[in-house]
Structure 1
Amino acid sequence: MILDDNPYRQVGEPIPGKIVCVADHASNFVPEDIELGIDPALLETHIGYDIGTGGIADRLARRHAIPAHIACVSRLVCDLHRREDDAAVMPTSSDGHLIAGNIGADVEKRLAKYHRPYHEALASWLDDARPELIVALHSFTPSLETSDEERPWEVALLYNQDDSAAQHAIRLFGEEGLTVGNNEPYSGKELNATMDRHAEAHGRHYLTVEIRQDLITNEADQARWAAMIADIANRTALALKGV
């Protein structure tokens, strides 16, 4: 749920010059005053949030010294990983499902209550942290309801213009024996709003890590992935320094 009316929570204290984590789609919470007009069961699927990312972000912060800025509202209420002028910032459909309650709803009110506070707080947090690397954490469904195509990647790295960190991580995840996607199952050149704004625009290195959701549904798997991501993020940060 949303704590203290903030559409985000922050776990751990950043150490200036170290690694931090951002999880835009970590929550499926819908405030009581918003009626989406959907079967509530859909909130437990990839439509409502990025399954597993909240648990991994918490674990990164509490066990691996990688503090996290974590969303506390469903992407169906306000998609924090979209630009304000993107129609999908308050989606009216998702993977073939109509989000009827969002049709004609007040977009400006959602932006003012959720999107802007989230990103203003993130901007301030990152300015103070001056991170050497940002881990932007997401997950993807093994297959869409609107497609028969299976997604074979176990993990993927997304990027727009700056792939300097991503290329290191692609290699390192591959060395773990994983099937690694390069700008899959969609391209960061088309969908990279948060890192475009808070990383590339400021010359900050980042890893947008996408994990297949069936691999991170329980706490044990989330703990395993958190440890692997922490290790690879630290090794990537060292590589970027030329160490």
Structure 2
Amino acid sequence: MSEAFITVREGDLDLLIIVDHASAHVPDDIDLGIDPTLLREHIAIDIGVAEVSQLLAAQLNCSAILAGISRLVIDLNREENAPGLLPVMSDGHAIPGNRDADLAERMRRFHHPYHHQVAAMLDGMTSPFILSVHSFTPRLASDPAQQRPWDIGILYNQDDRAARIAIPMLEAAGLNVGDQLPYSGQLLNATMNRHAEANGIPYLGIEMRQDLVDEAAGQRRFADLLGPIVLECRNRLS
């Protein structure tokens, strides 16, 4: 068992759910120097993603890999030379414990094992499809004027094959869908660039609005909506 990730294996469908920001856990030997209440906020965890992903894994009979540590410990959805890899600020909050942290040690302990496990799980599939699950805050403390009205966003870099299938299906289900919103996957898509686009593996990257998936009823609603759409993407592209 690794502290860097948790694996969920619900069946043998060649579909891997990847959840980079599933946890708010901070190991006991790491002091971020922040108010512990911040670990319940979006700066520490993508609210709702672990629950939705576990529901989807059970529904689709597939596997999932969930981050085991907070994005404030190290951001698993960043390239190894990216500025935000070890955050010292997040949405206006200082993370003083990271200023003198040993980046190489955090990489060795968390980032490398997580991505090695992602690669190993994909290598075990004959014709894989990836679902990347994130969630976004409806409002940023550092930019309160920014409007984020979408129920769900679909992100991608160069490979938009699954996005083109999913977006009209999500709209038909009554959702307000952001295409490359609330931000573009061409700017922030590290895990999918590494494991999907670099290897020609089709994928769907989703961002759910956090106030819609912060409780069990909303999590179940999104899992029920997403399951058939993800399966349709996988069946048409794998």
Q: Same fold (TM over 0.5)?
A: yes
- Check if 1:71 corresponds to 2:67: yes
RMSD of the TM alignment (CA)? 1.3
The partner residue of 1:202 within 186, 199, 203 is: 199
Read off the aligned partner of 2:81 and give its amino acid letter.
D
TM-score by length of 1: 0.94
- Check if 1:181 corresponds to 2:163: no
- Check if 1:93 corresponds to 2:89: yes
Q: Which whole-Å CA distance do the structure 2 matches of 1:226 and 1:20 have between them?
A: 15
C-alpha distance after superposition, 1:8-62 (max 9, x if no partner): 111115526x222100000000000011011111110100010000101111122
TM-score by length of 2: 0.96
What is aligned with 1:15? 12
Residue aligned with 1:79, SS = coil
Read off the aligned partner of 1:204 and give its amino acid letter.
I
Mind listing any 5+ residue stretches in structure 2 that lack a counterpart?
Answer: none
Q: Residue 218 of structure 1: CA displacement?
A: 0.9
Q: Residue 86 of structure 1: CA displacement?
A: 0.9
Q: Which whole-Å CA distance do the structure 2 matches of 1:132 and 1:126 have between them?
A: 6
Read off the aligned partner of 2:131 and give its amino acid letter.
V
Deviates more, 1:217-226 or 1:6-15: 6-15
Q: Which whole-Å CA distance do the structure 2 matches of 1:27 and 1:63 have between them?
A: 21
CA contact (8 A) 2:17 2:132 kept: yes
- Check if 1:103 corresponds to 2:93: no
Read off the aligned partner of 1:83 and give its amino acid letter.
E
CA contact (8 A) 1:157 1:182 kept: yes
Q: Which whole-Å CA distance do the structure 2 matches of 1:134 and 1:215 have between them?
A: 23
What is aligned with 1:172? 169
Q: Which whole-Å CA distance do the structure 2 matches of 1:240 and 1:28 have between them?
A: 33
Q: Which whole-Å CA distance do the structure 2 matches of 1:128 and 1:13 have between them?
A: 15
- Check if 1:44 corresponds to 2:43: no
Residue aligned with 1:160, SS = coil
CA contact (8 A) 1:20 1:131 kept: no
Q: Which whole-Å CA distance do the structure 1 matches of 2:11 and 2:196 have between them?
A: 16
- Check if 1:239 corresponds to 2:232: no
CA contact (8 A) 1:155 1:181 kept: yes
C-alpha distance after superposition, 1:126-174 (max 9, x if no partner): 1102444210000000010011212011001000010011111111101
Residue aligned with 1:74, SS = coil
What is aligned with 2:222? 225
Q: Residue 84 of structure 1: CA displacement?
A: 1.0
Mind listing any 5+ residue stretches in structure 1 that lack a counterpart?
Answer: none
Q: Residue 239 of structure 1: CA displacement?
A: 3.4
Residue aligned with 1:11, SS = strand
CA contact (8 A) 2:3 2:69 kept: no
Read off the aligned partner of 1:149 and give its amino acid letter.
Q
Q: Which whole-Å CA distance do the structure 2 matches of 1:15 and 1:67 have between them?
A: 7
Q: Which whole-Å CA distance do the structure 2 matches of 1:20 and 1:225 have between them?
A: 18
- Check if 1:212 corresponds to 2:187: no
- Check if 1:60 corresponds to 2:45: no
Q: Which whole-Å CA distance do the structure 2 matches of 1:230 and 1:151 have between them?
A: 24
Q: Residue 223 of structure 1: CA displacement?
A: 1.5
CA 14–197 in structure 1, closer or farther in 2 if over 3 Å, else same: farther
C-alpha distance after superposition, 1:198-241 (max 9, x if no partner): 00011000000100000001112111211211110111223336
CA 45–76 in structure 1, closer or farther in 2 if over 3 Å, else same: same
